[in-house]
A and B are shown apart, each in its own frame.
Chain A
Amino acid sequence: MSTSSERRAELVAGAVTGHLDPAEQAELDALAAADPTVRAEVDELRAVSERIGALGSWEDTPAVRPAAEEPRRGRRTFLAAAAALVAGVGLGAGGALVVQQAADDPVGPAPEAPVASGPPGTLGVAEPVRFAADDDAADVRAVLIPHTWGTEAVLDVDGLAVGETYDVRFLDASGSPVSAGAFLGSEVEIHCSLNAAVLREQVAVLQIVGPGGELVRSAQLPTVAG
């Protein structure tokens, strides 16, 4: 940037925020008389500046609150799962490792240390599930935990019809269903764990089926190594 363009930037910024003294205002006026884009830019940037004012305040990224303070088990489950994924992917699809984060890491240490972690399919490691888009009012979240004896689905559910039965099942690569159990819709947010006698590497889809056989949620699961 040339000296003149730097001065132009200073004057425009001062004009936008209303901080020009009379001499600077005169300097800006002279600049604007010679360059019609100056006024336009002041107006455009002033609009941006005024819009930013709607934020009211800005909180700098604060220090980390230990995840152990979190009151909800479901939240901790997801934090642990995400932390495991982050650490696991960094080391590739190899074996398990221990999560160790630097003291100045802005989102802090894993909620429990040591934490077994690794890519999806690693025994004991929670894997967040991404359901396909839905248009109902329910809030359904899930993680999968592979075990030697099968696959565990841990659900947090809020907003499904109270008292109705919802079946949870996995589909294998051929589309054959394997039941993991069922739960009832509740007035309160529920947290439940259901198990299926099928290994994680053998399941391709997680489904929640409503009382009338309708598909409430469905998630394609990434292929994992056995």
Chain B
Amino acid sequence: MNAAVVRDVPLVVNTAGDRWPRVVAMTDLDLAEAHRLHAGELLGFAVNALRDRGAAEECVQDTFTRAWQSRASYDATRASLRTWLFAIARNVVVDHVRARERRRRRAAAAADEAGLDVRVVPLHSSPESAAVEDRLDLAWALAQLSAEHRRVVVAVRLEGLTYDALAARDGVPVATLRTRMYHALRALRALLDPEGES
């Protein structure tokens, strides 16, 4: 049985403070409660990594199944339950992407054998694969921000809003939005490049 790999991520923005209860030992784990608290944000990660709602739902379900099966490997001194679940979810989504690529490669190979003009995409070495993996990393990091921090990143960086426009839309002062952006980017840097985080 595969054991879940727990990545020790040092900083995750969580302005909600004690919103996520800390599990001390697996005997304390209420997976139904964990599902209620975290399934939504895990689904957000999977949906944005895969751009496939059905596959994302499967990945979230598989994440909780793996969590339950791997609960003995969880070390609360290394990571929060939330971080642990996100680490499992990342592995699940990576497995899904690789399985999908294997199927595509087989289909392309079969088409090639049949004399059809279809290019066989090499596994893990194509630009398409690199782009998928990069999007997976970015979605994984962005999904771990608090909703307030993610909202300002998405609005300013992905939707092209100015801080003034966002302030008008959400009724939040520009200074607060900028501060959120600052901390969001620091958290993203820590998540995407934990080795380089000082």
Residues of A within 8 A of B (CB): 6, 9-10, 12-14, 16-17, 19, 44-45, 48-49, 51-62, 65, 67, 70, 75, 78-79, 81-83, 85-87, 89-91, 102, 105-107, 128, 130, 132-133, 137-139, 158-159, 219-220, 222
Q: What are 7 sample pairs from A and B whose C-beta atoms fall under 8 A apart? A: A45-B182, A52-B153, A85-B68, A90-B33, A107-B35, A130-B69, A159-B106
**Which B residues lie within 8 Å of A9 (CB)?**
178-179, 182-183
| Cβ contact within 8 Å between B139 and A55 | yes
Nearest-neighbor residue (CB-CB) of A108 within chain B? B57
Most buried by A among B40, B65, B138, B154: B65
| Cβ contact within 8 Å between B39 and A105 | yes
A48 touching B69 in the complex, CB below 8 Å, given contacts A106-B39, A159-B103 = no
Residues of B within 8 A of A (CB): 1-2, 29-33, 35-36, 39-41, 43-44, 47-48, 53-54, 57-58, 60-62, 64-66, 68-69, 99, 102-103, 105-106, 134-135, 138-139, 142, 150, 153-154, 156-158, 162-163, 175, 178-179, 181-183, 185-186, 188-189, 192
A78 touching B68 in the complex, CB below 8 Å, given contacts A9-B183, A106-B43 = no
**Which B residues lie within 8 Å of A44 (CB)?**
189
Give the docked Cα–Cα distance between A32 and B95 (Å): 45
| Cβ contact within 8 Å between A65 and B53 | yes
Nearest-neighbor residue (CB-CB) of A136 within chain B? B102
**Which A residues lie within 8 Å of B188 (CB)?**
48, 52
| Candidates B103, B139, B179, B185; contact of A49 at CB < 8 Å | B185
Other 10 A-B pairs with CB < 8 A, given A48-B185, A48-B189: A10-B182, A13-B178, A55-B138, A61-B47, A75-B54, A82-B61, A83-B61, A85-B31, A128-B69, A222-B69
Give the docked Cα–Cα distance between A221 and B154 (Å): 43
| Cβ contact within 8 Å between A61 and B44 | yes
| Cβ contact within 8 Å between A75 and B58 | yes
| Cβ contact within 8 Å between B54 and A49 | no
The 10 closest A-B pairs by CB, nearest first: A90-B32, A106-B40, A82-B61, A9-B182, A13-B181, A13-B178, A13-B182, A10-B178, A61-B44, A89-B31
| Cβ contact within 8 Å between A139 and B103 | yes
| Candidates A16, A82, A106; contact of B65 at CB < 8 Å | A82
Nearest-neighbor residue (CB-CB) of B51 within chain A? A59
| Cβ contact within 8 Å between B48 and A82 | no
Nearest-neighbor residue (CB-CB) of A87 within chain B? B32
| Cβ contact within 8 Å between A58 and B68 | no
**Which B residues lie within 8 Å of A78 (CB)?**
58, 61-62
